[in-house]
Structures are given as C-alpha cells and as structure tokens.
C-alpha cells in the first residue's frame, strides 16, 4: 500500500495515497467540522442537480441544474503555500503538505458559512441558554412560535453539535418558516423539508451507496432542495431501508416512533423480538443470495433446532417486521424451514468442542429447553447426561405437538445432531430425587420437565365417561395409542392446545368437532392462524362461553351447560373475574368433552424436601437472569418456570441456563458460535421496480378437504423460487447499523481518575459520570464539585463500577442546571440515569 506523509495541526500523519485531507485528519483523530461530508459517502462538491424533485407530491423545478454543488464549506482548511482556503473533503492529501485546520481565518469563514446554513433552518434553540432543559413542542420561555424553533432532535442533533463547536455569529437573521411540505403519511419515516439544510447526504447514500436512486436534489436560485424523484416514495422506487435517515444530520428525515435509547432494537425488531436473538436479517439476506447452507448456519449460531422452529415457531419476529408497515411482513418462519431443508452440513465445520472440564451436569427432561442446554454445555466441555422418562426423546415437541405440524422424523433428525456431538441421552429413565443425582457425582442439575399434567375445570360432571384431558389426549395419539372418541367432540379452551386437540379429533374421524372458550373471539389465546386452520377443517368455535356443568346420560357425557359471557378478565394473580349474561343458559351437545384449559407441574420431583420453592402458580421459582432455583446447584427453565409457553421461548431459556450453569461451574458463560460468514454485507440494494407493492409469498398448504383423515403435513414449505422471491422483499433494516458514525466535535470528557477528581474546582456546579460507551449514568450537583465527586467515589455504589468518564461545569444555579440536564436525559431516554434511578 502506497502511503504519503503530511502534517496536520503540527501532527505528522501517514495516510494511504489517494485519501483526502479530511480523511487523513479523521484517521488520526483530528476533528474538522463537516455537514455534507460523511465517512461512507462520496464528496458533495461538484454534484449536478436534478431537473425536478417532488415535495408533498408537488414538483419543484431546478432553476440552474448545471451549476455544481458547493457543499457546506464548513470543512475549510488552510494549506501553507496556498492563499485561498480549501474544502478538505475534496482536497487530496499530498506528500509534505502542511495543513492548519483551526486558524482565526478558518474559524471566521466557517462561521460565515454556518450563518448561511442556519438562515434557512430553525436556530433560536441553538442560542438559548435553557435549551438543554427544554422539551420540544412545548411552551417556550422566549415565546418563539413552534414552527420557528422546534425540532424533535434537539439535544442530539449533529447540526447543533457542529454549530456549538464553530460558534454562531450574533448578526444571524431570524429564521422565517419556509412553509415547505411535511410528509407524515408514508410508511416508517417522516419528511420535514423545512428542516433540510441541503447537504445531499440522503441523495448520495440512496444513489451511490445503496444503488436505488429514489432521491434527488435541485438548485432553486441557490437554495438546495432534496426530495423524491417522483410524487411519492413508492413511485420513486424507495426500498425503505432507512439509510437516508441514518445519515441525515438534522430532523428533516426521522423514523416514526423510534426512541433514540431503543434505536437498535427498534431498527431491527425481528432479531430483538426473537426470544433466542437469531440474526434474522442476516439469514434472510443469505437466502436471497442463494446461500441456503450459510443461512441455516446463521440460525444454528443461536439455536440447535432450526428445522423444528421452521415448522412450529410462533414467529414473534413476523409481528414486528417493518416490511409489514409497507405491505406484509416477511414470512420468516417459512424461510427458516426452507434453509434448514436445504442444509448441507456446512455449520458442522464451525462447531468447536472444548476439552473436557471434568464437570458433570444432569439434565432432567429432553424437551426443547433441556436439549438446548445439553447441546451448549456439551460443546463447552462438560459431561452432560439427559434423563428422559419416556421411550423417545423430545418432550412436548414429541408428545404435545400434532404430527401434521411437526413430523417425528424432523424432530428425530435434529435430536440426533445433538446426541451425536457427545450428549449422553438416557431414555426410560425417570428421576424422582435430586439428592440421588448429587450423590452420583453431578455438580449441577437442570430441571426441564415441562408441564406434563393437564387440568380440568372444577365443575360438576368431570367424572363422567367421555371426559378427557387435552395434553393426555395428544400424548396418547402421538405415541400411537388408541383413543376412543364419540361422534360429537367438544373441546373446552381457546388456546393453541385446544386448536391442536380439535384438529387431531377431526383426523381421527370425528365429524362434529366444536371448541368453546371463555374469551371473546378477539381475545382468544390461540393465534389467528391457528383458529383459521381449525375453521378451514370444519371446526366450529363458540367464544364467550362459561361452563357451569357437564351433563350426563347413563354415566356418559351428553353435553355441557353454558352461559354467555358479557366480559371477563384475569387479574395479576391469575384469578378469573367475569360477568355472565342473565338468562343466557344453553347446552352444547357432545358425547366427548376434552379439557384444554391449562397445564400443571408434576410435583413428584420438586415436592416437599427437595429444596425447590414453587410460585403461587405452582411453577418453579428461579432467578430470572441466572435460572437458578432456591437450591444451590439446581437450575430450571422452560414451561416449568414460566407456565405454558412456546418452543422458541423454551430454547431461549435453555440458552440462558447453559450460560449460567457454565459460569456456576467456573466457565465464562460464552455459548455462541460463529458458523457462517461474518463479512460486512454489501449495502448495494439496486433498483427494483414494483418492490413497494410486492406482497408476502404464501406458504402452500394441503387443501382442507385433503387434511381430514390424515396426519400428513399441512404446510408444504417453499420451493427455491418462492423462498428467494420472499427473501428479496426484506427491507434490509440492519444495513443502517453498518453505516459509519460521523465524527462529532470533541467532547470535554475526562477520564474518571482520582487525579481528575482532585483537580475539579471547589465551586458550585453540576457533574456527570459516563460509562465506557460515554452514556451518562449519573447526574449530580452541589456547592462544591470536588467534594461531591469525592463523596460519590467513596459511596461504593454498585453502578459506580461502570463509570469511566467525568464531566463537570461550574454553575451558581446548580440545582436548576441539574434539573435541566435531568430533563434532557429523561426526554431522550424515557428514564432517569442508572445512578439517579436508584435514588427514587
């Protein structure tokens, strides 16, 4: 690599040949202010304007499209031997060049250029002494109209930071509202062109980085105006990736309903909605690129059951998918299944088995939580034994999920993958005593027995012939046992299990299958797709029904006496409150009644004397972070701690338990793998006409009439064309997290050391402590800054361990100033700083 050397502000800088002076300065931490420049974008100066852009659907014509863009001109520098000041973002760095970035001449010209920029942008708040305690869009102490002052980014606006660094000239004219369009009816983000400063970052990232070209700019009598190239974002070809928002230095482009403190979770909600934290955008992108084995490897970095989840996950990720704000959410679960079905074993190349630690762990139960814990602990080098009371492994995945949703061979395949890595699986091995496991030399135990027992409602008639329990019913059917049903089955319950029971009954030849539940149709616990599938198969649902008793005839079920429910709710303690409609008594006829109204813990293992405490709901009490029970060395997870949940939630509990048990045994608790490529994804998305209107690819299903009488899979899965076609619909929201942050003006933070504390002034003022990410974790004030910091240092508060930096400022009105800073933090983060929060 050819390099050259130059001097910037008396610092010798060596940089790759071909870099600009701005890039050279940034490479060594020397700050040069710039608004149009961005680390990931080509320079703005020299660009030619478009002929027309659209604001609010109306065309705005360029008066001089041939005039080249000058840029913000805030990055001017002085070069020895050259009279004129030059823009460092376009100036090539050359051998021996001597550059000065902050001379009085440079400072004055920057202030002039900033004055020009701020003349067309609200700026009164930038010069207000009370701005840090101000709440945008509320009353102004100076009575300035909202349209002339307010921006929701006040306090963390890049333009504001640069203006404070450069300094605002006193003769700056008052801002006059430009009355340009404000668009709030497009998906995902808002556009307020009154706040645009014409830096064209949005145009360049859309065109030059993402390859979309949905945005342009015009030159109207010297005023740079940006906007879509067509009347709407849809017509402009926008792909709603949000890159334009990420680079915007003002509040002109803003996300809808995304708080800065929750930015990452809100920008990539699919990953953060996944209980196991699977990197959804990454594997969806790999499917779009045809890299199916790599895609399933990404899934396997977080879970050992990609194919199972591809069949039965309740996919909370899809509910949060931002593509759903445009048309329909991505079919993430179906894509996971497709990738897993096209697995060539690439992920195995990345598996690393640690050397044996000599530590032994017993896991009770081979359901999703237990096997996940076993998988990770085994890879960490621990000797893991899984005890399963049944003759086959899988827990509720095996006995609680119908075969038409999860074929047994699918489950068996992924369990074999776990066992073949070295897990000791012992079938037909019930555990009845925790003491015996410790006596056998196990150092830790994980209880993952689920909730195997079903419940009946405490109403008359439950002893009649023909009354069954849903969990036992599914267990028997899945294990191949004969189950006798009548000709009219009534399932009591409105959740997913109730739907499963009803659909299984139909497949066993029952012509009339009904469901009845307390909840209204809108509040039924079952997911909409579950009730839809049930009704497609001829199952009749009776919502808002209370059950008073089961009717009998000669010892056999004859029906259920019901009342219509006016309203119902469960309180925080799980107690039911309801009001029935007077005079609404009626009977639902049935010769078989199956309860699907909840599940319960088998107390054999964790009864009195076990050292395990149970909650009021008869679930095992654990520390929510460590998954440890009230008995040392015993951990628990899955339904046995949470109540009935889902496979993915149980897997997530297994991951957390594995990390905690490893720490308990002296390990680091690091369980994650890297099984697929981790290279930075290309931001190039390209134009794709019709992208906006493209709807979700529907998963092919067996017709309802073909499902009855067979346990064949209902959902048939994607073929390659469907999968790739669905994957390319992704908005690629995660690309925003790859965009480089801009270099902001240097902050006045000091390292939190005894020397710096002892050097603090003994005057009135406020002080802030920050963590290693330079996020404020404490705000304080007092009549003596030094003494206040010293007392805080001696307090021994637990949160102080995170403090790394310090900032203080002298202020006679320190109480008011502290309140202003606290209000600013609360507005930005929706909470108090960690250290202050513990005081309230």
* Pair of tokens at residue 349: 């190349």
Tens of pLDDT, residue by residue over 668-710, are: 999 998 999 888 899 999 999 999 999 999 999 999 999 998 9
- CA max distance for the chain: 110
Q: How far is CA 596 from the centre of its chain?
A: 32
Residue pair 662/373 in contact by the 8 Å Cβ criterion: no
Give pLDDT tens digits for 387-422: 999 999 999 999 999 999 999 999 999 999 999 999
| pLDDT band, residue 129 (cuts 50/70/90) | low
- What is residue 132's predicted lDDT score, i.e. its pLDDT? 60
Residue 533: which of 508, 490, 500 has the closest Cα? Answer: 500
Residue 828 has pLDDT above 80, yes or no: no
Give residue 50's pLDDT: 95
Contact 501, 592 (CB under 8 A): no
Per-residue pLDDT for 573 more than 90?
no
pLDDT-wise least confident of 507-516, 626-635, 730-739, 769-778: 769-778
Q: Are 404 and 711 a contacting pair, CB within 8 Å?
A: yes
DSSP letter for each residue of 307-363: HHHHHH---HHHHH-GGGGTS----HHHHHHHHHHT--SGGGGG--PPPP-S-EEEE
- Burial degree of 357 (CB within 10 A; 0-12, 13-18, 19+): middle
- pLDDT-derived band of residue 576, with 50, 70 and 90 as boundaries? confident
In DSSP terms, 492 is beta-bridged to: 516, 595
Name 234's Cβ contacts closer than 8 Å, sequence gap at least 6.
692, 693
Q: Is the predicted pLDDT of residue 840 greater than 60, yes or no?
A: no
The whole-angstrom separation of Cα 273 and Cα 271 is 5
Residue in the block written with tokens 């006016």: 566
Residue 545 three-state SS: strand
* Sign of the Cα pseudo-torsion (530, 532, 534, 540, in order): positive
Alpha-carbon span 797 to 42, nearest angstrom: 48
* Banded model confidence at residue 773, pLDDT cuts 50, 70, 90: confident
Beta-sheet strand order (sheet of 11-16): 11-16, 3-8, 98-100, 76-79, 86-87
CATH topology of domain 453-600: FAD/NAD(P)-binding domain (3.50.50)
**750-761 pLDDT, tens per residue?**
889 898 899 899
Query: What residues contact residue 139 under an 8 Å CB cut-off, 6+ apart?
Result: none
pLDDT value of residue 394? 98
Candidates 649, 647, 654, 607; CA nearest to 631 is 607
Q: Regarding the domain delimited by 266-349+695-728, which CATH topology (the fold level of the hierarchy) does it fall under?
A: Fumarate Reductase Iron-sulfur Protein; Chain B, domain 2 (1.10.1060)
Beta strands in 433-531 (DSSP E): 444-447, 453-454, 467-469, 488-492, 512-516
Question: CA–CA separation, 601 vs 613, rounded Å?
Answer: 13
Residue 8 corresponds to which tokens in the numbers above? 């910037």
CATH class of 352-451+601-637+647-657: alpha beta
User: Would you say 471 and 498 are in contact if contact means Cβ atoms under 8 Å apart?
Assistant: no
Higher-pLDDT residue of 205 and 828 is 205
Q: What angle do CA 259, 263, 267 make, to 5 degrees?
A: 115
In the predicted model, is pLDDT for residue 509 greater than 80? yes
User: Which pairing describes strands 58-61 and 253-255: parallel, antiparallel, or unpaired?
Assistant: unpaired
Q: Can you read off the two tokens belonging to residue 666?
A: 């002296």
Q: How are beta strands 58-61 and 11-16 bridged, if at all? A: unpaired
Contact 785, 820 (CB under 8 A): no
Reported as a pLDDT band with limits 50, 70 and 90, residue 133 is low
Q: In this structure, what are the phi and psi dihedrals at residue 127, rounded to the nearest 5 degrees?
A: -110, 5
Over 70: is that where the pLDDT of 641 sits? Answer: yes
* Inter-CA distances, 475 with 224, 453, 483, 501, 637, Å: 69, 11, 10, 10, 21
Quick: pLDDT tens for 154-168. 777 899 889 989 999
Given this model, what pLDDT does residue 776 score? Answer: 92
**Nearest CA among 537, 539, 543, 506 for reference residue 524:** 543
**Beta-carbon count within 10 A of 584 CB:** 14
Q: Identical fold at 3-255 and 352-451+601-637+647-657?
A: no
Per domain, the residue ranges of the chain are: 3-255, 266-349+695-728, 352-451+601-637+647-657, 453-600, 750-837
d(CA 573, CA 558): 34
Pairwise CA distance, residues 13 & 4, whole Å: 8
- Give the residue among 195, 257, 190 at the shortest CA–CA distance from 225: 195
Q: Which three-class secondary structure state does DSSP give residue 550?
A: strand
Q: How many CB atoms lie within 10 A of CB 279?
A: 18
pLDDT score, position 171: 87
pLDDT in tens, 336-362: 999 999 999 999 999 999 999 999 999
More confident residue, 462 or 129: 462
In the prediction, which pLDDT does 310 show?
Answer: 98
- 450 contacts 619 by C-beta, under 8 angstroms: no
Distance CA 800, CA 803 (A): 5
Is residue 440 pLDDT above 90, yes or no?
yes
Could you tell me which CATH class the domain 750-837 is placed in?
A: alpha beta
pLDDT > 60? residue 202: yes
Residue 445's DSSP bridge partners are: 362, 634
- Whether residue 625 is predicted with pLDDT greater than 60 in this model: the reply is yes
- Cross-strand bridge partners of residue 60: 53
Read off the DSSP letter of residue 465.
B
Q: Cβ–Cβ contacts within 10 Å for residue 84, how many?
A: 7
3-255 belongs to which CATH class?
alpha beta
Q: Are 154 and 131 in contact (CB under 8 A)?
A: yes
Tell me phi and psi for residue 635, to 5 degrees: -120, 160
Q: What is the DSSP string of 371-432?
A: HHHHHHHHHTT-EEEEE-SSSSS-THHHHTS-TTTS-HHHHHHHHHHHHTTT-EEESS----
Rounded to two decimals, what is the model's pTM? Answer: 0.89
3-state helix, strand, coil in the chain (%, to 5): 30, 20, 50
Nearest residue to 418 via CA among 385, 464, 389: 385
pLDDT of 839: 55
Does residue 840 or residue 501 have the better pLDDT? 501
Of residues 820 and 8, more confidence is placed in 8
């Amino acid at each position: 690599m050819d390099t050259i050397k130059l001097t910037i502000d008396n610092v010798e800088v060596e940089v790759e040949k071909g870099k600009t002076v701005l890039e050279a300065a940034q490479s060594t931490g020397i700050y040069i202010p710039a608004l149009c420049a961005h680390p990931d974008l080509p320079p703005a100066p020299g660009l030619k304007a478009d002929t027309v852009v659209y604001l609010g659907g109306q065309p705005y014509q360029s008066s001089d499209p041939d005039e080249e863009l000058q840029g913000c001109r805030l990055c001017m520098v002085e070069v020895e031997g050259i009279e004129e000041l030059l823009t460092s973002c376009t100036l090539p760095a050359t051998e021996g060049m001597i550059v000065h970035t902050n001379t009085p001449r440079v400072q004055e010209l920057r202030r002039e250029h900033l004055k020009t920029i701020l003349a067309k942008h609200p700026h009164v708040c930038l010069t207000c002494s009370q701005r840090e305690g101000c709440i945008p869009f509320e009353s102004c102490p100076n009575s300035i109209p909202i349209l002339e002052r307010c921006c929701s980014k006040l306090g963390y606006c890049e333009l504001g930071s640069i203006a404070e660094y450069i300094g605002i000239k006193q003769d700056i004219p008052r801002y006059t509202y430009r009355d340009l369009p404000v668009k709030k009816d497009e998906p995902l983000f808002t556009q307020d062109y009154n706040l645009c400063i014409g830096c064209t970052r949005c145009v360049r990232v859309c065109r030059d980085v993402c390859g979309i070209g949905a945005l342009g700019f015009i030159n109207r009598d010297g005023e740079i105006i940006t906007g879509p190239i067509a009347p709407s974002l849809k017509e402009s070809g926008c792909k709603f990736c949000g890159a334009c928002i990420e680079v915007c230095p003002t509040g002109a482009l803003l996300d809808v309903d995304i708080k800065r403190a929750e930015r990452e979770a809100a920008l990539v909600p699919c990953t953060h909605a996944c209980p196991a934290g699977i990197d959804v955008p990454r594997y969806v992108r790999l499917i779009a690129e045809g890299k199916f084995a790599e895609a399933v490897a990404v899934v396997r970095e977080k879970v050992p059951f990609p194919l199972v989840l591809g069949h039965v996950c309740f996919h909370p990720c899809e509910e949060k998918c931002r593509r759903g704000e445009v048309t329909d959410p991505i079919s993430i679960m179906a894509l996971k299944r497709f990738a897993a079905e096209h697995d060539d074993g690439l992920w195995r190349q990345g598996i690393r088995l640690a050397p044996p630690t000599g530590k032994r762990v017993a896991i009770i139960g081979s359901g999703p939580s237990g096997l996940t814990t076993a998988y990770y602990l085994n890879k960490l080098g621990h000797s893991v034994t899984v005890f399963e009371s049944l003759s086959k492994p899988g827990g509720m995945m095996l006995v609680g999920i119908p075969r038409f949703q999860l074929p047994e061979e699918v489950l068996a395949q992924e369990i074999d993958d776990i066992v073949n890595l070295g897990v000791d699986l012992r079938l037909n091995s019930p555990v009845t005593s925790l003491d015996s496991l410790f006596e056998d030399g196990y150092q830790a135990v994980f209880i993952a027995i689920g909730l195997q027992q079903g419940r009946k409602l405490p109403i008359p008639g439950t002893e009649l012939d023909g009354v069954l329990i849903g969990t036992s019913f599914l267990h028997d059917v899945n294990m191949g046992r004969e189950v006798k049903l009548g000709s009219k089955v009534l399932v009591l319950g409105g959740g997913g299990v109730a739907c499963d029971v009803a659909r299984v009954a139909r497949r066993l030849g029952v012509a009339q299958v009904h469901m009845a539940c307390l909840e209204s149709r809108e509040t039924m616990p079952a997911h909409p797709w579950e009730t839809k599938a049930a009704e497609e198969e001829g199952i009749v649902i009776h919502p808002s029904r209370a059950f008073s008793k089961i009717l009998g005839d000669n010892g056999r079920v004859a029906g259920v006496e019901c009342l219509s429910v006016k309203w119902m709710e469960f309180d925080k303690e799980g107690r039911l409150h309801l009001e029935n409609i007077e005079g609404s008594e009626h009977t639902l006829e049935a010769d078989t009644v199956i309860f699907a109204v909840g599940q319960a813990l088998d107390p054999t293992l964790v009864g009195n004397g076990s050292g395990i405490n149970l909650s009021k709901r008869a679930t095992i009490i654990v520390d929510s972070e460590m998954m440890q029970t009230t008995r040392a060395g015993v951990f628990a997870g899955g339904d046995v701690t949470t109540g009935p949940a889902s496979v993915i939630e149980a897997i997530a509990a297994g991951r957390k338990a594995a990390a905690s048990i490893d720490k308990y045994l002296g390990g680091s608790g690091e369980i994650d793998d890297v099984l697929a490529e981790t290279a930075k994804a290309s931001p190039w998305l390209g134009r794709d006409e019709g992208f906006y209107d493209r709807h979700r690819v529907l998963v092919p299903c067996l017709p309802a009439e073909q499902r009855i009488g067979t346990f064949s899979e209902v959902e048939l899965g994607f073929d390659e064309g469907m999968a790739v076609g669905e994957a390319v619909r992704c908005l690629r929201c995660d690309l925003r997290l790859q965009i480089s942050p801009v270099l902001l003006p240097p902050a006045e933070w000091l390292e939190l050391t005894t020397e710096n504390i002892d050097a603090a002034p003994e005057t009135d003022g406020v002080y802030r402590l920050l963590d290693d990410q330079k996020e404020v974790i404490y705000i304080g004030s007092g009549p003596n800054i030094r003494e206040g910091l010293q007392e805080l240092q001696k307090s021994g508060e637990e949160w102080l361990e995170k403090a790394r930096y310090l900032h203080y400022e002298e202020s006679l009105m320190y109480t008011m100033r502290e309140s202003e800073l606290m209000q600013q933090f609360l507005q930005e983060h929706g909470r108090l700083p960690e250290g202050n929060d513990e005081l309230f």
